Each structure stands twice: as C-alpha cells, then as structure tokens.
Structure 1
Amino acid sequence: MKIRGAIDSETRCSHYHGENDRIAIKFYCCQEYFPCIHCHEEYGCGHRELWPCKKFDEQAILCGSCKIELTINEYLTSNSRCPSCNASFNPGCALHYHLYFHKP
C-alpha cells in the first residue's frame, strides 16, 4: 500500500516524525493514504473533504507499526493505541480531528 509523503516504514513524514507518529489517514476526497494534512496538500488531490459521520465504520486509518487498517470509529476510541499490536499513537492527533472528520 502506498503512503504518499511517508519518509519511513511506520508512515512518519517530514511534518510529523516523533516516536508516536505512526498512522496514515485515507482521505475521503481521493481515497489515498497520507501521513498528515500537510502531505495531502503537497501530494494530494487538491480538494480536501472531511469524512462524513455516517462513514465512520469504513477503514481509513493505517497503523504504521502492524499495517492493520482501522475504521475511523476504532481509531477514535483507541485511546491512542493500536487495538491490534498495542503500538502507541500520538495523542496530540486528537487536536487535528476536525481537519479529517466531521464532528459526530
């Protein structure tokens, strides 16, 4: 699976490359995975759309550690850990949910 903008095997990018930065998000508009909104702006389709609440059961989050795809609901309720491999996710990502997902 191609992660556009990723600089390592755990999906980190030049914008977010801390230890816990290990998810990629499938953007609703183009259905392609990117590590962050900035990568989508640089390499993406050019017209970002938010995931609608009614689609939160679709797989749209990739764990960079084990490569499992999570639904948006699984990710939002994960407590910043992959439910499959227990790798930690960056809890600060919650501050950016409004850039990717409509508010439930």
Structure 2
Amino acid sequence: MKILGNVIDDQGRCTHYSNKVDTISIKFKCCGEYYPCYKCHEENANHKIQPWNKEDFDEKAIFCGVCKNELTIREYMNHTNCKHCNTLFNPNCSKHFHIYFETDNNSTCIS
C-alpha cells in the first residue's frame, strides 16, 4: 500500500503523529489516496478534504501499518484495536473523526 505524505517509517507514522500507537493511515474519500493524517493531506494534496459519508462506512479505508491489512471505517471507529493483529489504535485519533468521517458528536460511528 502506498502511503502519501510526510511518512517517517514503514508503519505509516508521519512527522505530525509519531507515537507508538500512530500506525494507521486513512484513504481519503476526496482522492482515494492513503495519508497518515489530515495534516499530511493538507500539505501534500491540492484539494480540500471530503469526509466519508455514513453510507460509506463499510468501505475499506483504514490501513494498519503493523499488519498491512485494510479495515472498514466502521471496524476502525467501533474498535480500539486492529481486528487482524490486535495493535492498539491511538485513542486521541477520535478527536479528529469529524474531519475524516460523518459522525455524531464528532467521535462515534453512526451505525
């Protein structure tokens, strides 16, 4: 999987988010490209971010940099770890869900 942006390692960490738990990349609806974070997208893409609609939450749009498997948006938003390798997701990423996904209260998945 090709991850665009300011990537600093083979697990998808970037110059903006490089903690141990920062291992997922998101496929952006607007361009279909994977980036580690919205800041990487803003700095490297020539268009605005378009969040995924709730109707798209079964789309595979999350890439685990540890096991290299894709997850659906729903699987990612409704779990704290990767279903394939059990790697913990950064809990602070939920603060940015409203940038990437249509949400209720900016943090939870609309089922």
For the 8 Å contact 1:29–1:45, the answer to whether it is kept is: no
Aligned AA for 1:36?
C
- Residue 3 of structure 1 corresponds to 3
CA RMSD of superposed structures (Å): 0.8
For the 8 Å contact 1:23–1:63, the answer to whether it is kept is: yes
Counterpart secondary structure, 2:94: helix
Give the gaps of 5 or more residues in structure 2: 104-109
Alpha-carbon distance in 1 for matches of 2:57, 2:40: 22
- Normalized against structure 1, the TM-score is what? 0.95
- Residue 100 of structure 1 corresponds to 100
Work out the number of aligned pairs and report it. Answer: 103
**CA offsets, 1:12-71, max 9 Å, x none?**
000000010000000000000000000000112412100000000000000010010000
- Normalized against structure 2, the TM-score is what? 0.90
Alpha-carbon distance in 1 for matches of 2:10, 2:88: 15
Runs in 1 of length 4+ with deviation above 3 angstroms? none
Q: In the TM superposition, what are the counterparts of 1:21-36 in structure 2 within 5 Å?
A: 21-36=22-37
For the 8 Å contact 1:27–1:34, the answer to whether it is kept is: yes
**CA offsets, 1:56-98, max 9 Å, x none?**
000000001001000000001112x111001111011011100
Alpha-carbon distance in 2 for matches of 1:57, 1:27: 14
